[in-house]
Structure 1
Amino acid sequence: MTFRNRRAVSGRRAFALGGVALGVAALLAGCTRTVDGTGGAERWSATKVAGLEITTGESGPRAGVPDTGLVADGSDGGELDRLARNAVDDVQKYWADELPAVFDRRFDPVTRLISYDSTGPGGIVCNTSTAGAVNAFYCSGDDSVAWDRGQLLPTLDDSFGPMAVVAVLAHELGHAVQFRLGAVDARTSSIVKEQQADCYAGNFFRWVAEGNAPHFQLSTGPGLNQILATLFFIRDGADTGFDAEGAHGNAFDRVSAFQFGFGDGPARCARIDEAEVRRRITQPASGQASPTGEVAGNLPVDQGSLLALQETLRAAFGRSGARWPAISQSVSSCPEVTVTTPASYCPATNTVGLDVAELARIGTDPDQGAGGMGDFAAFAEVASRHALARQHAEGYPLTGLATAQRTACLTGVWAATIVVGRGAVLQLSPGDLDEAVAEMLAPRSLIAADVNGGGIPSGFARVEAFRDGFSAGETAPCLQKYR
């Protein structure tokens, strides 16, 4: 976020609040190589995610299933190449049925699969050297899918498990779908191609979660959370504009596209075009300058920044005639409530309590190694407790899964009030919404928690609720949907 350079409520000069990336390079930059020659409206349920029951069973390769007969050129015959080939086989089985059913178009399997080692001697794939190419990509020139077994696949598997490898290859085959549909050409922007491919990957994983994939299984709780964490990991950095060559999208936008695909059919993905992307994309354009007087950086959580935060929260959640909650610089016990940290809400006293030291730790730049998530994550946790105060003023219950989702949605509404151009003392900067995604994909999310800290076990559902509020920009839809 950016703290606008003007005198804040404390009377001191304002300073910067910078949303920063988590320091992870976007591994899949330019994953489509071309060579010349919102989920649908549905009644919300605390036990479902996009209409499927929330499950916590096994995710990953199915045991005892014969491997595919597909062959990858250059393969070393190892476990990761076997995983990749099985993934391609399942994705292609899905599209062999789905493309004719939805688009009345035949899906022919890709012509060639290629495995290479980016740490070894470089070869040439799709007119590009593989030396140091930590990547996976679809090449339209020879209709091939290639992947790096030397660094990319091991990193994904070690960090997120085998389904992360499946996710990347499902995305690449989404590009093959685009070319079979004739939906993209040299004039199509990278961000449109990549948002479509993320959406098509969501279509496939819905099929897997429904139990249809021969080689893989996926729970809609922890398993689906890992897929979203993978998209977070391979997001664009905060300094990459959506109009840059090879742009894929920040984490918030990539997860959104995937969720569109998971919740709706392939026809929803095909509707992603330049106008739709520019209307909803949160990633700014390249070189988008901050207004004069603004400073970049990660704002520390201190009295000055918390005062500015209070100003934005009053604008978002203030209600005529309702008493604004008191602020305490400590988290204290509360009658009939399990206190949460680093921020809590006590309905008996209408007080928001803050553990400023812990908020400061959460708000640190993740690159500093203190376990922080960034400034926006810390402020959003505080905002979530004020969202509870607003619900209390409206007479809504403060416990239960509906409350947790309503809280995430209302926190999204607050985020919408501080987008650039709306004049708030705090304004969103590149990377801020990604911090919210990271917080909501964590095992414990305060952004999406009720007054006792309880919440829905699906990170997918948490992010979806936050996006509902951010897209609506007003409280009424949150209060109506999550009941």
Structure 2
Amino acid sequence: MTLRRRRAASLIGSALVAAALLGGCARAVSGTGDAARWNATTVGGLEITNGASGPRPGVPDSPLAVVGGDGGELDRLARNAVDDVQRYWRDELPATFGRRFEPVVRLVSYDSRGPDTTVCGTGTAGAVNAFYCRADDSVAWDRGQLLPVLDDSFGPMAVVAVLAHEVGHAVQSRLGTADGRSIVREQQADCYAGSVLRWVAEGNAPHFQLATGPGLNQILATLFFIRDAAGTGFDAQGAHGNAFDRVSAFQFGFGEGPARCARMDEAEVRRRITQPASGQASSLDAGAGNLRVDDRDALRALEQTLRAAFDRPDAAAPTVDPSPPPCAEVRGTAPASYCPQTNTVGLDVAELARIGTPPEQGTGGGLGDFAAFAEVASRYALAVQHAAGYPLTGLATAQRTACLTGVWAATIMAGRGAVLQLSPGDLDEAVAEMLRPRSLIAADVNGAGIPSGFARVEAFRDGFTGGRTTQCLQEYR
């Protein structure tokens, strides 16, 4: 997870491999567009809610049988989740695709810490996973490690989301679309999971409820957690996508429904995927490491990319100052702030360095260099809005800011010649930053942010894929 800078003929920076629990989820045994609009006050047309997310109280458990289960709470959670997901497809598959939905034949629970058994032709010892098996039309999950981690870290709806993804593979099997490149199948299954979770958020699920505010943000955090390791090529066997791409696919399903998911094919995925192919990043990563955000050369390079992305001849560029004077007009926002009175982007370099420290190298809650640089870019984006005569407070400002930060990110994609360049994992750092309660990437000049993580990511993606400042300024008013 690095942001690279180029010095002379060499690139500095490398991918830090992040562990992902779900290395591959749809198993087959041999021989046997644009997302819906998310605005600052609704999520795909649904009101933002802050209520409970998780199992509905007082609802009878599903009668579905589970092979190998221990009768515990996590198996009960998984059984109810699969039951609700299949109820969705029982109505949706004929309504959208004109096909009858047949429930999966078997549900299998195993403990990856226990004695080795065989599921779908593979041993379960150490198999921290959940998957759909085409050979016997089953959905299996690890109750020993995977489900406890998901439930403890992100809540019970994380388990529902993962199993909705796996049943999505069963839907592919029923539609005859289960073959082809891994990344296409997995992106489509994420999309199908998004359509199921939309149905849950609308209050239709018998066993579960989902708030569209923090509840959905936890789903996005789950997708960040189970992303591909940085450096995994999109063409690799079992590739699912980085966090940015997985969130995008989920949002397509949540906003537009399963018909949008079915349109995903290799050409569509290749057009929008941000994960490079195998080998594309390896030549750039040799001998590199996460940039020190407090390095003066790195900060100068950052400012150079911001000027290249945004500066206009008819507007004065803001000054980037590590020791800014007080600004009476606005509330300070750490670790970076914008003062319209002096047209200054002020930096708290020590705090930026803390955020820029990868989680594996520190204990201070850091995210990585790109997350820190993107927070600076967001404050520079406020100067762009100020020069264009736009207000600097309010939800629309926060959306424009996220969009413009995405524009800047697109200018430093590898191969575009920028002095700083994106490397594997950087966009995932942006997703992680935007899911924090006080994200600056999606905040106005006083730090007031968009309440919906979906809307934050949507606005950033608009800028990243559109690549034009004028589009951000005109779209978010």
Q: CA deviation at 1:221?
A: 0.6
Root mean square deviation of aligned Cα? 1.6
Q: Note if 1:229 corresponds to 2:221.
A: yes
Find the aligned partners of 2:285 and 2:236 in 1 and give their Cα distance: 26
**SS of equivalent residue, structure 1 residue 203:** helix
Q: Which residue of 1 aligns with 2:252?
A: 260
1:342 and 1:354 in contact (8 A); partners too: yes
Q: Which residue of 2 aligns with 1:10?
A: none
Equivalent residue for 1:37, pick from 8, 32, 46: 32
Q: Which residue of 2 aligns with 1:371?
A: 365
TM-score relative to the length of structure 1: 0.95
Q: CA deviation at 1:476?
A: 1.7
Task: After TM superposition, list the pairs within 5 Å mapping 1:144-163 onto structure 2.
Answer: 144-163=138-157
List gaps (5 residues or longer) in structure 1: 8-12
Q: CA deviation at 1:293?
A: 9.6
Equivalent residue for 1:317, pick from 310, 314, 334: 310
Equivalent residue for 1:52, pick from 28, 46, 55: 46
1:322 and 1:393 in contact (8 A); partners too: yes
Q: CA deviation at 1:320?
A: 2.0
Code of the residue aligned with 2:378 in structure 1: it is: S
Q: Which residue of 2 aligns with 1:420?
A: 414
Q: Note if 1:16 corresponds to 2:12.
A: yes
Q: CA deviation at 1:15?
A: 6.0
Q: CA deviation at 1:335?
A: 2.2
Q: Note if 1:354 corresponds to 2:347.
A: yes
Find the aligned partners of 1:395 and 1:41 in 2 and give their Cα distance: 28
Q: CA deviation at 1:45?
A: 3.7
Q: Note if 1:6 corresponds to 2:1.
A: no
TM-score relative to the length of structure 2: 0.96
Task: After TM superposition, list the pairs within 5 Å mapping 1:400-411 onto structure 2.
Answer: 400-411=394-405
In structure 2, relative to structure 1, the CA distance for the partners of 1:195 and 1:62 (3 Å cut) is: same
Q: CA deviation at 1:370?
A: 2.8
1:5 and 1:293 in contact (8 A); partners too: no
Equivalent residue for 2:193, pick from 175, 196, 201: 201
Find the aligned partners of 1:294 and 1:394 in 2 and give their Cα distance: 42
Equivalent residue for 1:94, pick from 88, 91, 116: 88
1:118 and 1:132 in contact (8 A); partners too: yes
Code of the residue aligned with 2:12 in structure 1: it is: A
1:331 and 1:343 in contact (8 A); partners too: no
Greater shift in the superposed pair: 435-444 or 289-298: 289-298
In structure 2, relative to structure 1, the CA distance for the partners of 1:210 and 1:297 (3 Å cut) is: same
Find the aligned partners of 2:236 and 2:439 in 1 and give their Cα distance: 32
Code of the residue aligned with 1:20 in structure 2: it is: L
**SS of equivalent residue, structure 2 residue 91:** helix
**SS of equivalent residue, structure 1 residue 353:** strand
Q: CA deviation at 1:81?
A: 0.2
1:19 and 1:374 in contact (8 A); partners too: no
Equivalent residue for 2:206, pick from 202, 214, 220: 214
Q: Note if 1:330 corresponds to 2:323.
A: yes
Q: Which residue of 2 aligns with 1:80?
A: 74
Q: CA deviation at 1:434?
A: 0.2
Equivalent residue for 2:274, pick from 279, 282, 289: 282
Count of matched residue pairs: 473
Equivalent residue for 2:387, pick from 390, 393, 396: 393
Q: CA deviation at 1:365?
A: 1.6
Code of the residue aligned with 1:208 in structure 2: it is: V
Q: Which residue of 2 aligns with 1:449?
A: 443
Code of the residue aligned with 1:37 in structure 2: it is: T
In structure 2, relative to structure 1, the CA distance for the partners of 1:291 and 1:239 (3 Å cut) is: closer
Identity of matched residues, %: 76
Q: CA deviation at 1:40?
A: 4.4
Code of the residue aligned with 2:228 in structure 1: it is: D
